[in-house]
């Protein structure tokens, strides 16, 4: 399985990092070794002093497909959860300066924390999601604010990558990204239902 991620999919987050709002989705991938599940703890890696949380809606692909049209994309997923796209911001800044790929800052072990999946309500016009760190709300998002909607993302990425059952798509973070530290407790929810809760060690 593979993990496909969208960068800069909420304009307020693009602005908080000083990035332009993109004309087409910004895509990067994480290997399966990045997956962190079952509320297992996240261990801060030694190579970074600035690991950020990025709260994101995550969908699971449940049917293989290639070059999927947007109007058929909804047939390729039925479950959603929240995840954290952990990012070594100091490493990423250096890579961006040099115009290099982001993998070292984004695709390391444990960098894709994924919650418990729930059925995706295709009729929902907006999905509210939230991250608390140590009981304080630090990120809130709503799917209606996505620059590229889920079906458009699937159509776009499936032109390049064949999607397979079990693949995950991280759909981008809203504003409010910040560093985590040892001892932090993260709690992420959709519509106030906690789907992911774990500790930073």
Residue whose CB is less far from Zn ion, 73 or 112 = 112
Of residues 166 through 185, those in contact with Zn ion by CB under 5 A are 173
Least distance in angstroms from the C-beta of 59 to Zn ion: 14
Least distance in angstroms from the C-beta of 58 to Zn ion: 10
> In the beta sheet, which residues pair with residue 56?
83
Least distance in angstroms from the C-beta of 72 to Zn ion: 26
Quote the tokens at residue 153: 């993302």
Confirm if 173 and 54 have CB atoms less than 8 A apart: yes
Residue 92 sits in the site that holds Zn ion (CB under 5 A): no
Confirm if 92 and 98 have CB atoms less than 8 A apart: no
Of residues 31 through 70, those in contact with Zn ion by CB under 5 A are 54
Residue 147 sits in the site that holds Zn ion (CB under 5 A): no
Residue whose CB is less far from Zn ion, 55 or 68 = 55
Confirm if 106 and 5 have CB atoms less than 8 A apart: yes
Round the CA-based radius of gyration of the chain to a whole number and report it. Answer: 16
């Amino acid at each position: 399985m593979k993990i496909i991620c969208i960068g800069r999919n909420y304009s307020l987050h693009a602005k908080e990092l000083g990035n332009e709002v993109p004309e087409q989705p910004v895509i990067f991938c994480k290997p399966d070794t990045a997956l962190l599940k079952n509320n297992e703890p996240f261990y801060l890696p030694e190579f970074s002093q600035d690991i950020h949380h990025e709260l994101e809606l995550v969908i699971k692909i449940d049917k293989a497909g290639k070059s999927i049209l947007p109007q058929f994309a909804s047939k390729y997923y039925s479950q959603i959860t929240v995840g954290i796209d952990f990012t070594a911001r100091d490493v990423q800044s250096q890579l961006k300066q040099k115009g290099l790929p982001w993998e070292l800052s984004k695709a390391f072990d444990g960098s894709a924390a994924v919650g418990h999946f729930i059925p995706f309500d295709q009729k929902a016009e907006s999905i509210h999601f939230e991250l608390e760190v140590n009981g304080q709300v630090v990120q809130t998002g709503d799917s209606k604010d996505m620059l590229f909607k889920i079906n458009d993302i699937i159509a776009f990425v499936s032109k390049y990558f064949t999607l397979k059952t079990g693949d995950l798509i991280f759909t981008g973070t809203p504003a409010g990204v910040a560093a985590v530290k040892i001892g932090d407790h993260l709690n992420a929810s959709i519509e106030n239902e906690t789907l992911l809760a774990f500790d930073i060690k």
